[in-house]
Amino acid sequence: MVIDGQTFPRDKVCAGWITPPVVDLLDFDADAYRNGGRVMQPITSFRTGLIGGGSTVIDYGEAVSHAIRRFEFDHYLLAGSGVRLRLGEPVKKIERQTGGWLVNGTIRTPLIVGAGGHSCPVARLLGANPGRGEAAVVAQEVEFELDAARQQECRVSGAMAELYFCRDLAGYGWCVRKGNHLNIGLGRQPGYGVASHVEGFVRWLQQEKRIPTRKIPAKMHGHAYLLYDAPGRTLIDDGVLLIGDAAGLACHESGEGIRAAVESGLLAASVILDAGGDYRRSQIEDYPRQLEACLGRRSRSVERRRKVPEWISSSLLGMPWFARHMLLDRWFLRRHQKPLRLGSPR
């Protein structure tokens, strides 16, 4: 059973950029998805650079990512999942009982999978303390429909996602066009104030005439989440495990979290099936190990990269070789990583 505090379709604060492993792992039927009038925009190139500086265009000549709208994507996946749904019902109370759990005083279950995002109540049950003491990235975005006049003015094209880094490399902004919708946002490392950077970023995009100069017709929304580099949360206990943002798994280089949510969900499902109804900690403790085999060992590379002097980072980002092979291939598209194969961890 899936319990979600919201009813679907619902918005999720997200740019909606997905990489090929997400499409492959979900066995996603792109034609069926698009036939329903949903947007799945192929991204074949990137414009990258520094906010306030120059930029370079890297063209792959084929789709290396897609842009979807979470409003549509999440609803589609949920509707196709075939599971029992309890929607519009926030999880408020989780009590341990003999042989399992009692959720909200009405639902008995031997196993809970915490998939409630950064502030997941199941993660709190395992000791997570979102908002206090956790070094979460904070990101803001807005997604809005371009009217005819704004479409004329908008120079961001669907096939080319635009990524612009803050000078201190503590975050980056993006512009992604999905059909008639435009998504603009910026995320930053903890403690490096996001709101003023978002304002400056939007102003700069308008000065550069990349986006319509008239006022953005919707409000920015913010959300926090943990990158895989942050000190990890406790992932399992008797009859409980965490996946996705609840587990704090987003890619430490790019902030991509959908892929890790899908990978962790599939790994968790496989471990749960193998446990054969006995969900004691000892029976599911392969899950953190498999996750580490899939996502790699936690490291501190973001901290290290942020200490790179600005003049070096700005000149590197302006070099097409660096933008293509390091920034995009390695950090954003992670083309060097083998796709997840269940039963044979990387």
Ligand X SMILES: Cc1cc2nc3c(=O)[nH]c(=O)nc-3n(C[C@H](O)[C@H](O)[C@H](O)COP(=O)(O)OP(=O)(O)OC[C@H]3O[C@@H](n4cnc5c(N)ncnc54)[C@H](O)[C@@H]3O)c2cc1C
Query: Where does this chain bind ligand X (CB under 6 A)?
Result: 3-6, 12-17, 90-91, 115-117, 119-121, 139, 141, 185, 187, 223, 225, 244-246, 250, 255-259, 261
Spatial distance between the Cα atoms of 84 and 65, rounded to a whole number of angstroms:
31
Q: How far is CA 346 from the centre of its chain?
A: 21
Cβ distance to ligand X smaller for residue 224 or 283:
224
Cβ distance to ligand X smaller for residue 118 or 210:
118
Cβ distance to ligand X smaller for residue 21 or 239:
21
In the complex, what is the shortest distance from the CB of residue 279 to ligand X, in angstroms, rounded to a whole number? Answer: 20
- CB atoms inside a 10 Å sphere around CB 94: 18
Cβ distance to ligand X smaller for residue 120 or 271:
120
Cβ distance to ligand X smaller for residue 91 or 333:
91
In the complex, what is the shortest distance from the CB of residue 309 to ligand X, in angstroms, rounded to a whole number? Answer: 28
Task: Calculate Rg over the CA atoms of the chain.
Answer: 20
In the complex, what is the shortest distance from the CB of residue 258 to ligand X, in angstroms, rounded to a whole number? Answer: 3
Are the beta carbons of 22 and 68 closer than 8 angstroms?
A: no
The residue sitting closest to ligand X, measured at its beta carbon, is 257
Label residue 267 left, alpha or beta by phi (over 0 means left) and psi (-120 to 50 means alpha). Answer: alpha
In the complex, what is the shortest distance from the CB of residue 323 to ligand X, in angstroms, rounded to a whole number? Answer: 19
The Cα angle at residue 35 between residues 29 and 36, in degrees rounded to 5: 100
In the complex, what is the shortest distance from the CB of residue 256 to ligand X, in angstroms, rounded to a whole number? Answer: 4
Spatial distance between the Cα atoms of 202 and 208, rounded to a whole number of angstroms:
10
In the complex, what is the shortest distance from the CB of residue 243 to ligand X, in angstroms, rounded to a whole number? Answer: 6
Cβ distance to ligand X smaller for residue 169 or 283:
169
Helices then strands, counting H and E runs in the chain, come out as 13, 18
Tokens of 105: 């005083």
Cβ distance to ligand X smaller for residue 22 or 284:
22
Cβ distance to ligand X smaller for residue 49 or 173:
173
Question: For residue 24, what are the contacts with CB-CB under 8 A and spacing of at least 6?
Answer: 339
Say whether 341 sits in a helix, a strand or coil.
Answer: coil
> What are the respective helix, strand and coil percentages of the chain, to the nearest 5?
30, 25, 45
Whether omega for the bond prior to residue 9 falls within 30 degrees of 0, making it cis, is: yes
Cβ distance to ligand X smaller for residue 268 or 283:
268
Spatial distance between the Cα atoms of 113 and 67, rounded to a whole number of angstroms:
27
Spatial distance between the Cα atoms of 121 and 125, rounded to a whole number of angstroms:
6
Beta-bridge partner residues of 45: 59, 160
In the complex, what is the shortest distance from the CB of residue 268 to ligand X, in angstroms, rounded to a whole number? Answer: 11
Tokens of 284: 């599911």
The Cα angle at residue 342 between residues 17 and 136, in degrees rounded to 5: 45
In the complex, what is the shortest distance from the CB of residue 148 to ligand X, in angstroms, rounded to a whole number? Answer: 27
In the complex, what is the shortest distance from the CB of residue 139 to ligand X, in angstroms, rounded to a whole number? Answer: 3
Are the beta carbons of 116 and 123 closer than 8 angstroms?
A: yes
